[in-house]
Amino acid sequence: MPERLLVVGGDAAGMSAASQARRRRPAAALEVIAFERGGHTSYSACGIPYLIGGLVEELDDLVARTPEVFRDRFQIDARIGHEVIGIDTKNRRVRVREIQSGTEYQEAYDQLVVATGAEPRRPPIPGIEAEGIHGVQTLDDAVSVERSLEGGARRAVIVGAGYIGLEMAEAFVLRGLDVTLVEQAPQPMTTLDLEMGELVADALREIGVGLRLGEEVEGFDVVEGRVRSVEAGGGSIPADLVVLGTGTRPASGLAEEAGIPIGPTGGVRTDARMRTEVPGVWAAGDCVETFHRVSRKPVAIALGTHANKQGRVAGINLGGGYATFPGVVGTAVSKICSVEVARTGLNESEAEAAGFAFGSVVVESSTRAGYYPGAEKMTVKLIAELQTGRLLGAQIVGAEGAAKRIDVIATALWNEMTVDEIQGMDLSYAPPFSPVWDPVLIAARKAQERAEDGWTDAP
């Protein structure tokens, strides 16, 4: 009889694990069943803002593989509309509810992958459950936002100016809505330092987004079950539609109830091979915590690319191979219309929390040679350890072509390079692509000059 692998959660991490395990072990050796409570498998949640903004035409475009594909091409039984409601790790069984019928049943496993994803943080604000207030985590959320738009929504309020909030602001602007963004911090994008966040604020204002910074949402005005306005900063903002961009947390409740150890971040704890501390139970994706290679501390970062990699690692190991997930350095990228934003490593407050003594530089340069058409402004911030000059983190805000340079810095960070080492690197140069000194090199050079001067503020 084949071994049986059950997967809880049918998105990036879960289905990567399932596919990789299958690649290495045929159906005769390994039976694979995946349970997904939603209506879709393996979709790009990161694509939802572009679907709503009209840049992506069909919801189906965001689905990489349907349950039919998994069944026919991979012999994986992917059951949508099936929610795992309990895990019995002692007897290696899960309890499943078929959502439509309410029927419950049990399935036994030899190996289990927990890939339950993230869930939106819903601040305990009165009225937050009203109609017209949406998360944007799942394709089902996307459908309900679209329904609001087609129902004639004209004024959108977004609560929280993180990545999702900003991408949804762009989407609504593209759809012609009046958009207001409410953020309790004094800047959008709090994963950036203040001066870099202010560049993002400028970009938002430029595309006509109303910015209410430093304001907390106190409540929602709800009429007949539907939101009519958002109360914030002592005033009221009319809203036909509200989106919550207030972040997510690991959806680790199911694992926790089953006694699977949870880390300090709220994510399921795993080793580098994605094994939990419970025999036969693995975990991957937004529900786990991972290792930050700069702070050397656990972090929970919900991001499709990590979920894919972690799922793949779990699947290779489940299939009899050997793979490890090496942790993260906190790289992220986004755009608001023509302004690109990226970061990696630690920002100033994170560096402080991690106990580093550090200095920083902010350098403005150009995406291309100054004389080449389309050369536009980009700003790079580097943070480096005082005693050694080792790079700790970076942030970029700029025009087209700016943000992907964060990957060069992430690679340098991964290798624990100093700013002195970085400034000498052989990065590509041609006028359509870069000034003769790439902006990354210019920033490293300035940081090294500051380091040589002992990071004094002398002119």
Tell me if 405 contacts a copy of itself by CB under 8 A. yes
Q: Which of 334, 347, 360, 418 binds a copy of itself (CB under 8 A)?
A: 334
DSSP string, 106-133: EEE-SEEEE---EEE-----TTTTSBTE
Give the separation between CA 395 and CA 416, rounded to whole angstroms.
17
Give me the least distance between CB of 224 and a copy of itself, in Å please. 37
DSSP string, 289-320: -EEBTTT-SEE----HHHHHHHHHHHHHHHTT
Q: Which of 3, 24, 46, 207 is catalytic?
A: 46
Q: Which of 30, 112, 303, 339 binds a copy of itself (CB under 8 A)?
A: 303
Give me the least distance between CB of 21 and a copy of itself, in Å please. 15
- What lies within 8 Å, CB to CB, of 230 at 6+ separation is 157, 159, 180, 182, 217, 219, 220, 221, 236, 237, 239, 242
**How many other β-carbons are positioned within 10 Å of the β-carbon of residue 387?**
10
Residue position matching structure tokens 């779990």? 314
Choose the stretch contacting a copy of itself; rule: CB under 8 A; options: 92-100, 129-137, 238-246, 318-326: 318-326
Question: Which pair of structure tokens corresponds to residue 171?
Answer: 């989407």
Known active-site residue 46: yes
Scan residues 271-300 and list those touching a copy of itself (CB under 8 A): 293
- Return the amino acid letter for 359: G
Comparing C-alpha atoms, which of 440, 420, 443 is closest to residue 429?
A: 440
Q: Which of 137, 180, 184, 331 binds a copy of itself (CB under 8 A)?
A: 331
Task: Report the residue number, 213 or 408, with the smaller CB distance to a copy of itself.
Answer: 408
Give me the least distance between CB of 412 and a copy of itself, in Å please. 6
Choose the stretch contacting a copy of itself; rule: CB under 8 A; options: 1-9, 228-236, 259-267, 427-435: 427-435
- What lies within 8 Å, CB to CB, of 367 at 6+ separation is 374, 375, 376, 377, 378, 398, 399, 400, 401, 402, 434, 439
Scan residues 94-123 and list those touching a copy of itself (CB under 8 A): none
- The DSSP output letter for 416 is T
Q: Which of 5, 6, 12, 173 binds a copy of itself (CB under 8 A)?
A: 12
Q: Which of 100, 101, 428, 456 binds a copy of itself (CB under 8 A)?
A: 428
Tell me if 434 contacts a copy of itself by CB under 8 A. yes
Task: Report the residue number, 84 or 396, with the smaller CB distance to a copy of itself.
Answer: 396
Q: Which of 92, 269, 275, 309 binds a copy of itself (CB under 8 A)?
A: 309
Question: Which pair of structure tokens corresponds to residue 441?
Answer: 């090199």
**175: Cα within 13 Å, side-chain hemisphere:** 27
Give the separation between CA 235 and CA 208, rounded to whole angstroms.
20
Q: Which of 284, 410, 443, 444 binds a copy of itself (CB under 8 A)?
A: 410
Tell me if 66 contacts a copy of itself by CB under 8 A. no
Q: Which of 6, 7, 62, 203 binds a copy of itself (CB under 8 A)?
A: 62
Tell me if 342 contacts a copy of itself by CB under 8 A. yes
Give the separation between CA 18 and CA 36, rounded to whole angstroms.
13
- What lies within 8 Å, CB to CB, of 453 at 6+ separation is none
Scan residues 156-175 and list those touching a copy of itself (CB under 8 A): 163
Scan residues 23-52 and list those touching a copy of itself (CB under 8 A): 44, 46-47, 50
Give the separation between CA 233 and CA 73, rounded to whole angstroms.
54
Give me the least distance between CB of 289 and a copy of itself, in Å please. 15
Choose the stretch contacting a copy of itself; rule: CB under 8 A; options: 142-150, 180-188, 216-224, 437-445: 437-445
Question: Which pair of structure tokens corresponds to residue 270?
Answer: 């795993």
Task: Report the residue number, 7 or 412, with the smaller CB distance to a copy of itself.
Answer: 412
Cite the beta strand spans of 142-200 per DSSP E. Answer: 155-159, 178-183
Choose the stretch contacting a copy of itself; rule: CB under 8 A; options: 31-39, 80-88, 198-206, 335-343: 335-343
**312, 16 in Cβ contact below 8 A?**
yes
Q: Which of 14, 132, 250, 330 binds a copy of itself (CB under 8 A)?
A: 330
Looking at the annotation, which residues are catalytic?
Answer: 46
> Footprint of a copy of itself on this chain (CB under 8 A)?
12, 44, 46-47, 50, 55-56, 61-62, 163, 293, 303-306, 308-309, 321, 324-335, 340, 342, 344, 369, 371-373, 401, 403-408, 410-412, 414-415, 417, 421, 424-434, 436-438, 440, 452
